[in-house]
Chains A and B, each alone.
Chain A
Amino acid sequence: MGSGALLAAPALGQGLVDLALPGGPSSRPTTSSFPEKGEMILQRARPPLLETPMEVFDQGVFTPNDRFFVRWHWADIPTSIDVQRYRIAVRGHVNRSLAISLAELLRMPRVELAAVNQCSGNSRGLFQPRVAGAQWRHGAMGNAKWVGVRLRHVLDLAGVKPGAIAVRFGALDQPVVPTGPDFTKSISLDHARDGEVMIAFEMNGEQMPLLNGFPVRLIVPGWYSTYWVKMLNDIEVLDRPDDGYWMAKAYKIPDTPHANVAPGTKDFPSVPINRMVPRSWITGWADGQTFSYAPELPVGGIAMGGDAGVAKVEISGDLGRTWHEASLGPDEGRYSFRRFDMTLRVPHAGSYTLLSRCTNTNGVTQPMTPNWNPGGFMRGCVEAARVRLT
């Protein structure tokens, strides 16, 4: 933005940020104290929940590794990884159990794709009525170029037996309480074999930070982050549905359009959370920021198509009565963030509310109305970016 910008809220990077969550508490410290991480919003130190400041998304469609959000369920996270001794077990309903070394993995055929990794509960702190859980604003997401080996290739090496229906993924992190439910997730065998799901060892051209899953994590393009198992070391082919806690009980959404139910509803048919939905954010200013008036206002940001590409992004300056199509930046792939930009002619000083709305290549458009469910999952509505020009 131009010179003369005034911040109405404490600037990011000064040790405290206000996430403007309705009803609060809203203030969070910022910290650069986590290994391989720059300045992040500290949601919780142990186990770490680190949110990416919104300004990072204005700097490019790829989220730098040292600003990429972090989310762990259990605090027993390995702090040392020996790449020479690391093994990935492939077992269960297969002809040959395997223990794949990283040297072997790096010699296998590779695939590369850009994909957004977004927490199921991203933006939960904006749900109204509020719901319990990690109180993220929008920064529990990131986009990276991932390089790895197709899961299908590894499954073929092991030889999946007839009758297999799903693949379950386990990791090195462990429950702090030994009898607690170890974090595992599963996807269907067909999904596992789609040629896009990969075991990634490279993130934005480098090995990934330990807190993002070093040395390898599962990439499930178009699906929420809960399936992107970090520090992946166990691949189990199942011939029965996964009845484990993390699939059968946690991360369940209402089986309704937009995973939406009336606030307060507790009992509804539910399914495991799955495909992401289109979203977009104006990133050129913090919500509510004040600038000196100028006749032209650049309005830009990032969009994602969810489980499909970004077809178009529209901007509204009249609370959704009329929409105007923005220019799209380079297409980095259907699962990537995509930049959008537009220059608005502003008639006079005042307070303005700008909306952005993404439509994906499946024809799905962000709704104006927020969804609600008791887990605080899958927010996808049009978001407002307010700005005051004085």
Chain B
Amino acid sequence: MKRSFLDPSPGTLAFGGLVFTSLVLVAIGPPSARKPWAIENASSPASAPSQVAGPDITLVSVSVDLPDDTVPFPDGPHAAVINANCTSCHSATMALSQPRLSRDQWKAIVEKMRATYKAPVRASAVPEILDYLNAMSGKLPVNGSPTAASADRSGGTG
């Protein structure tokens, strides 16, 4: 199929000005020690993994190591506090990859982590965590800034 209907798009494309303001580099370190799972492979490590066979397919037991990242929240106000409180459930990258958020928006997120996801974060640590997140967000350009808090009728995730 041939078509000839192209008009040059107006203006210059923006790809010349890629934004590298907050470079999030995450090193993948050695597998962390993981909690043993309740269903352990019954066979010894040296033996072949167990299998279950059916017509045209055989399922083979799997045992893997999941990598963890080794990079904490970088330097900033109360970095030790956010590292101590926020990285037991998730990598620092979850916060570091967020767009620019206001202090109130970060507060809604931190409170959701505490109230909904039961994160063991002391109330007294929250202002210091917010200091860090607010300072981090402040380095991002205002362009593209959100206007809505995450504490809303959508409940988030995905």
A contacts, CB < 8 Å to B: 8-9, 16, 18, 20-29, 31, 33-36, 42-48, 73, 75-86, 101-103, 105-107, 119-121, 124-125, 128-135, 147, 172, 175-177, 179-181, 201-202, 207, 210, 214-215, 224, 226, 245, 249-254, 263-268, 270, 273, 287-289, 296-297, 315-319, 322, 324, 326-327, 341-347, 350-353, 373-377, 386, 388
CA distance A86 to B66 in the complex (A): 21
A35 B66 Cβ-Cβ under 8 A = yes
A83 B37 Cβ-Cβ under 8 A = no
A-B contacts besides A251-B157, A289-B15, 4 pairs, CB < 8 Å? A83-B51, A132-B101, A132-B109, A351-B13
B47 within 8 A of A: no
Considering the complex, give the chain A residue whose CB is closest to the CB of B71.
A45
**Closest-CB distance, A153 to chain B (whole angstroms):** 15
CA distance A3 to B53 in the complex (A): 48
The A interface is mostly helix, strand or loop, or mixed, namely loop
- CB < 8 Å: which of A75, A130, A177, A266 contacts B149? A266
Considering the complex, give the chain B residue whose CB is closest to the CB of A273.
B158
* B16, B50, B99, B101 pick with most chain A CB within 10 angstroms: B99
CA distance A59 to B140 in the complex (A): 35
- CB < 8 Å: which of A23, A42, A121, A207 contacts B26? A42
B150 within 8 A of A: yes
Q: Can you sample 22 A-B contacts with CB below 8 Å?
A: A18-B20, A22-B143, A26-B20, A28-B97, A44-B94, A80-B64, A81-B39, A82-B40, A83-B59, A84-B51, A107-B55, A133-B156, A179-B118, A180-B118, A245-B155, A252-B154, A273-B158, A316-B5, A344-B2, A347-B6, A374-B154, A375-B154
Tally the A-B contacts, defined by beta carbons under 8 Å: 326
Tally B residues with Cβ within 8 Å of A: 87
- CB < 8 Å: which of A45, A266, A353 contacts B153? A266
B147 A250 Cβ-Cβ under 8 A = no
- CB < 8 Å: which of A34, A45, A130, A351 contacts B144? A130
What 0/1 pattern do residues 33 to 63 of B give for CB contact below 8 A with A? 0110101111000000011111101011111
A268 B153 Cβ-Cβ under 8 A = yes
Within B75-102, the residues touching A (CB, 8 Å) are: 88-91, 93-94, 96-101
A250 B120 Cβ-Cβ under 8 A = no
A270 B1 Cβ-Cβ under 8 A = no
CA distance A35 to B19 in the complex (A): 31
B148 A177 Cβ-Cβ under 8 A = no
A35 B65 Cβ-Cβ under 8 A = yes
Given the contacts A24-B99, A44-B93, A128 and B144 also touching, CB distance less than 8 Å: yes
Residues of B within 8 A of A202 (CB): 57
A345 B2 Cβ-Cβ under 8 A = yes
Considering the complex, give the chain B residue whose CB is closest to the CB of A103.
B52
What 0/1 pattern do residues 1 to 24 of B give for CB contact below 8 A with A? 111111111001111101111111
